[in-house]
Amino acid sequence: MLTDRELLILQAIVQIYTSDGQPVGSKALVSQLPMHVSSATIRNEMATLEEIGLLKKTHSSSGRIPSIQGYRYYVDHLLKPDKVQSSDLRQIRSSFNHQFQEIDDIVAESADMLSKLTSYTAFTVKPELKDAKLEGFRLVPLGNHRVMAILVTDNGDVQNRTFKVPSNVDPEALEAVIRIINDELVGLTLSEVFKRLATDIPNQIGKYIETPEGFLDVFEDVLKKSATERFFVGGQLNLLDFSKQHDLGAIRSLYRLMNHSTDLASVLGSPDQNIKVQIGNEITNNLLKNYSLITATYDVDQHGKGVIAVLGPTSMPYSKMIGLVGAFRTELARRLIDYYHDIDDS
């Protein structure tokens, strides 16, 4: 069990180190602490904190910096989120103050905004579609045997994809197929749609089209697209600033990671209600073991839940960041609820 003074020292070291990046020595710390003790005393306390594993040194005579466990302890027990600066709040609100035509625009804009506010790299994930219902499916002939497939879900998402149909498929058959899909699939949730596509639908369609597989591929493609295109990244370049390692190979892999939606999905993980802080090697992905990740869900009522996240150095100012992420997610949720409100009512 830690004494009050040890807690104070740990807290001070985390705060100082995360704000100026320099290891904290005993003398410097004396002036920053509320009570008056000598530097020697601090040294002793530091030594015990190091023994416990909450602090470490960069070299044998250096000041102390928090270890992963030190950050962990700080985040779990000592931190209280900063109130977000009113200028930041104003900036968020004004950037949300546009007329957006599509959700994607809002969520993409959010990633940029969040990265600007934090000066780290930010991720945003659209509200999950799993429970969304298929609201409409259209095939629009574009001439020359090309067709655009459009899929609309009840939470306003629109996906499309063009493809070619074999020249032996006649327009009436296509009409019939659309009718089947509209009759059988519209109104179901997307996961149910997937199930049906794997079971009875191919047979029904097979009556009209000789090789239904190709056609179903298109349908699945569009569905998959709406699953994979949920991820947005902002401030990718900021990584260059806060990533001290100048190992180009590592940075390159990171960029690849950030642009690969399935990898991102596994990193951002399954949303729970709280703001989650993962520090260093606590992050599942090995590439990120020298960074910290703050994730939070946002809740758009009946339209599902999405995720926002900030990736920065382990030495980030956690209290500020957590405050910011917390404020941002409520603003984003509010904006999206507005958006859906407009759609539903019009």
Partner DNA sequence: TCTTAGCACTCCAATGTGCTAAGTGCTAAA
Partner DNA sequence: TTTAGCACTTAGCACATTGGAGTGCTAAGA
- Quote the CA–CA distance of 326 and 340 in Å, as a whole number: 22
Q: What letter represents residue 257's amino acid?
A: L
199 binds a copy of itself (CB under 8 A): no
Q: Assess 250 for contact with a copy of itself (CB under 8 A).
A: no
Query: For a copy of itself, which is the closer residue by CB, 45 or 154?
Result: 154
Q: Which of 240, 244, 262, 284 binds a copy of itself (CB under 8 A)?
A: 240
- Residues that contact DNA, how many (by CB under 7 A): 25
Q: What residues have CB less than 8 Å from 245, skipping those under 6 apart?
A: 251, 290
- Range 38-57, binding DNA (CB under 7 A): 38-41, 43-44, 46-47, 50, 57
* DSSP category for residue 304: -
43 touches, from DNA, a copy of itself, none (C-beta below 5 to 8 Å by class): DNA
> Residue 136: which of a copy of itself, DNA, none does it interact with, CB under 5 to 8 A by kind?
a copy of itself
> For the stretch 213-227, what's the b/e string if a residue is b when 16 or more beta carbons lie within 10 angstroms of its beta carbon?
eebbebbeebbeebb
Q: Which is nearer to DNA, 38 or 162 (CB)?
A: 38
Residue nearer to a copy of itself on the CB measure, 61 or 101: 101
Is residue 252 part of the contact set for a copy of itself (CB under 8 A)? yes
Task: Tell whether residue 62 is a contact of DNA (CB under 7 A).
Answer: yes
> Interface with a copy of itself includes 244 (CB under 8 A)?
no
**Is residue 164 a contact point for a copy of itself (CB under 8 A)?**
yes
Long-range CB contacts (within 8 A, 24+) of 264-272:
264/123, 264/231, 264/233, 265/231, 267/293, 268/123, 268/125, 268/295, 268/307, 268/309, 269/295, 271/295, 271/297, 271/305, 271/306, 271/307, 272/297
Tell whether residue 245 is a contact of a copy of itself (CB under 8 A).
no
**Residue 326 identity:** G
